[in-house]
Structure 1
């Protein structure tokens, strides 16, 4: 230990940068010299709001942390670069009752701590809106935090948007969760105009309705990653405001204004969603569909959801597709779907059912539907015999002439195979190691 601590301070700081902040405390507890070296790393990334009943949590934890940091601002608070205040951090167990009550008594000292945390780069607060209502001075504490680059607020409302008008930072990533208030006031998204030039990632998970408050001439050219949820006005509106987005994720709970497909984005790299969205009129390299095709999908019937999915895939023509299907879908429907996918090179197909199925039986029914696709990779997941993987992979390689890799998960474990093709005869399969198979799967997802 002594030889390690004899190293130059800059070298020690570099070494500790590879250690998780939560693990640095273990080194700090070994001796006094190690404490002074490791604590800056430990204090660089702090999460408050522990849900473990054996650990102090809630407002008491926040108050003690703030007192500790403020006791020596020069040697403690200056190291704080990331602060995460999680759900339940402002809750206290009600004595004599089985529920929790809100407690914002720590808000004043938290405001003072934030005001002096001039090196803060990342800030995430789960229940910001009620916190601001309890302590308005917090809004002023955000103003001098010029170095913030990653901002995430979950429970937001009018006070949050009003506070953002006072900020002087230029975040690269902005994330909002649930919207607390009802109707908004005019000009409540003023901060978005200030952030337009710096934003690279914008997530509006349950409040995409904020896009309606942006004027028609609002454009944020730097946003590449976009997350949308709640009520989404129109996809064309988002495309106009974020024309250079390449990755779009739709939250599990969202609704999108119905419109005819418009050629808004020239192309997208990745789209993930829990509902069929037939409003795209551009190519998408990779699509992950998180809903189950063939099952009822609120507010659509199974038939309507299938038709909308086919239209979405026709418009986007993905190269990589992840899809879950219900046994009720049937091979004919899968054949109808893949018929609109002329560019498809990697398909991840999962049978979604609570019942244990004979994997080789249902896969034998569905694999022939893929015979005319240009697939180089196929991943099949179901419930069945653990030893069925080689037989299923062999069937896939024999059925699909272009197939080079097949991954099969008939139980809990994935097995990947590489298909060697001679001029004549059946393809020869080589089973890959777990690490090699994982690498191949990631390579296939990156196909263009």
Structure 2
């Protein structure tokens, strides 16, 4: 491994800014600063790998000694949203063929424009030569169809806002992705989704397909490695049976439509369910997230049925009025972590929080998060003493609690990746202890 030793007169860069110093001045005024030139190439590459791609390009322009490593980082993640970007990117990469190998993730979002058709061959050349490409996202670009079948390496592929004819690409492509997302802009069955996926039965692990026109009983293939399935079907009654037969080992299921049903447990390995609507499901799950915000007339039979048969350990749901809460003791005996997103005015939030806690007294909850939209609790300047007092009262009502939260700032997707109570631990370190509670603006941990 080559190590650089700068001469005393060499100009060096001390940061990613454009300011430069002679090494003698640098040693005199900032003796503790290490010159980039004194670092081995592999160390430089590691440091630069932490720099966002756009900043890496500025570093490449500033420090000629780290140009190669910075350009490598700059090209690792590429997003193209204009024809001007596409032309510049293609010209830059084609000028040095080895640069094609730096591209690891590529996102292209363009509508076809005849005016720029002459630059398309150069971009296709780049695409076909990107041997290290692992993630590819294509939006709108029907002009790229012929070139996509020959791409070898992407493990993640997203085709967004594409027409049904585009699905022929899937039937002929050489790549065997583990992750596939398809968002169709037209709704027809010219190429049924199961036909488009026939070549991916041995590799596909995550599938996100929107929309599926129908679940045809003619689906004969099985995708045994798919563990995460997200689908949107047109409205109407539809059975989960055909999906479960085609994807038997699903652990995470996200249906983006109402009307689904089954008549018996289908997925023995189902762990997580996220849905905009309640529907009939007999399979047990560990985590259940329901986004529906229309329980104002009381819990529907569908919701009660779903909770009874799924019996989740982690439950997150939205409700205009928390009328579902008293039913949880009987419906979800395994429940440990609960998040409720609801409504209350500033004068009733305190009382409603205690009322919810009392309704949960029969459950052995470990964590409880009560979220009120536009609440004083989520303001950075909220009254911490008031928040601590409320948390203590809630904890006293439910002695099994280890964590109490009042945070509405996290998105649904954030909760999916972080198992409570780890989510409730965030940002405790810089707040003072108060008795047996450690508090942040939004979360309280009971010791």
User: What band does the TM-score fall into relative to the shorter chain?
Assistant: 0.7 to 0.9
Distance 1:167 1:344, change over 3 A: same
Q: Which has the larger displacement, 5-14 or 163-172? A: 5-14
Distance 1:191 1:285, change over 3 A: same
Are 2:13 and 1:12 aligned? no
Q: Among 197, 206, 212, which residue is 1:208 paired with?
A: 212
- Give the equivalent residue in structure 1 for 2:355: 365
Distance 1:187 1:201, change over 3 A: closer
Distance 1:293 1:318, change over 3 A: farther
Distance 1:165 1:411, change over 3 A: closer
Name segments (4+ residues, structure 1) moved above 4 Å. 186-189, 409-412, 435-438
Q: Among 14, 19, 28, which residue is 2:60 paired with?
A: 28
TM-score by length of 2: 0.76
Give the secondary structure class of the aligned counterpart of 1:125.
strand
- Give the equivalent residue in structure 2 for 1:310: 304
1:370 Cα deviation after fit: 0.6
2:367–2:404 Cα contact (<8 Å) kept = yes
Are 2:340 and 1:349 aligned? yes
> What CA distance in whole angstroms lies between the structure 2 residues aligned with 1:359 and 1:176?
42
Are 2:387 and 1:389 aligned? yes
> What CA distance in whole angstroms lies between the structure 2 residues aligned with 1:287 and 1:103?
50
Q: Which string of whole-angstrom CA distances, capped at 9 and with x for unpartnered residues, describes residues 328-387 of structure 1? A: x54xx421244211111111122236x545311222222211111111221112235744
Give the secondary structure class of the aligned counterpart of 2:234.
strand
2:77–2:104 Cα contact (<8 Å) kept = yes
Equivalent runs, 1:109-128 vs 2, <5 Å: 109-127=122-140
Give the secondary structure class of the aligned counterpart of 1:339.
helix
1:19 Cα deviation after fit: 2.7
TM-score by length of 1: 0.76
- Give the equivalent residue in structure 2 for 1:292: 293
- Give the equivalent residue in structure 1 for 2:331: 340
Q: Which has the larger displacement, 194-203 or 379-388? A: 379-388
1:151–1:175 Cα contact (<8 Å) kept = yes
Q: Which has the larger displacement, 148-157 or 400-409? A: 400-409
1:24 Cα deviation after fit: 1.4
1:400 Cα deviation after fit: 2.1
Are 2:369 and 1:379 aligned? yes
> What CA distance in whole angstroms lies between the structure 2 residues aligned with 1:307 and 1:318?
17
1:324–1:351 Cα contact (<8 Å) kept = yes
Give the secondary structure class of the aligned counterpart of 1:392.
helix
1:107 Cα deviation after fit: 4.0
- Give the equivalent residue in structure 2 for 1:242: 247
Q: Among 143, 152, 156, which residue is 1:150 paired with?
A: 156
Computed over aligned residues only, the root mean square deviation of the Cα atoms, in angstroms, reads: 3.2
2:56–2:74 Cα contact (<8 Å) kept = yes
Are 2:296 and 1:272 aligned? no
> What CA distance in whole angstroms lies between the structure 1 residues aligned with 2:320 and 2:346?
13
1:104 Cα deviation after fit: 6.5
Are 2:95 and 1:90 aligned? no
Distance 1:389 1:250, change over 3 A: farther
Q: Which string of whole-angstrom CA distances, capped at 9 and with x for unpartnered residues, describes residues 123-155 of structure 1? A: 10121xxx32xx3xx333123311111100111
- Give the equivalent residue in structure 2 for 1:262: 264
Give the secondary structure class of the aligned counterpart of 1:183.
coil
Are 2:168 and 1:162 aligned? yes
Distance 1:16 1:208, change over 3 A: farther
Q: Among 140, 145, 149, which residue is 1:139 paired with?
A: 145
* Structure 2 unmatched runs, 5+: 1-11, 14-34, 411-422, 426-433
> What CA distance in whole angstroms lies between the structure 2 residues aligned with 1:71 and 1:392?
64
1:224–1:247 Cα contact (<8 Å) kept = yes
Are 2:86 and 1:62 aligned? yes
Equivalenced residue count is 383
1:283–1:317 Cα contact (<8 Å) kept = yes
- Give the equivalent residue in structure 2 for 1:44: 76
- Give the equivalent residue in structure 2 for 1:282: 283
> What CA distance in whole angstroms lies between the structure 2 residues aligned with 1:117 and 1:437?
46
> What CA distance in whole angstroms lies between the structure 2 residues aligned with 1:173 and 1:323?
28
Distance 1:284 1:393, change over 3 A: same
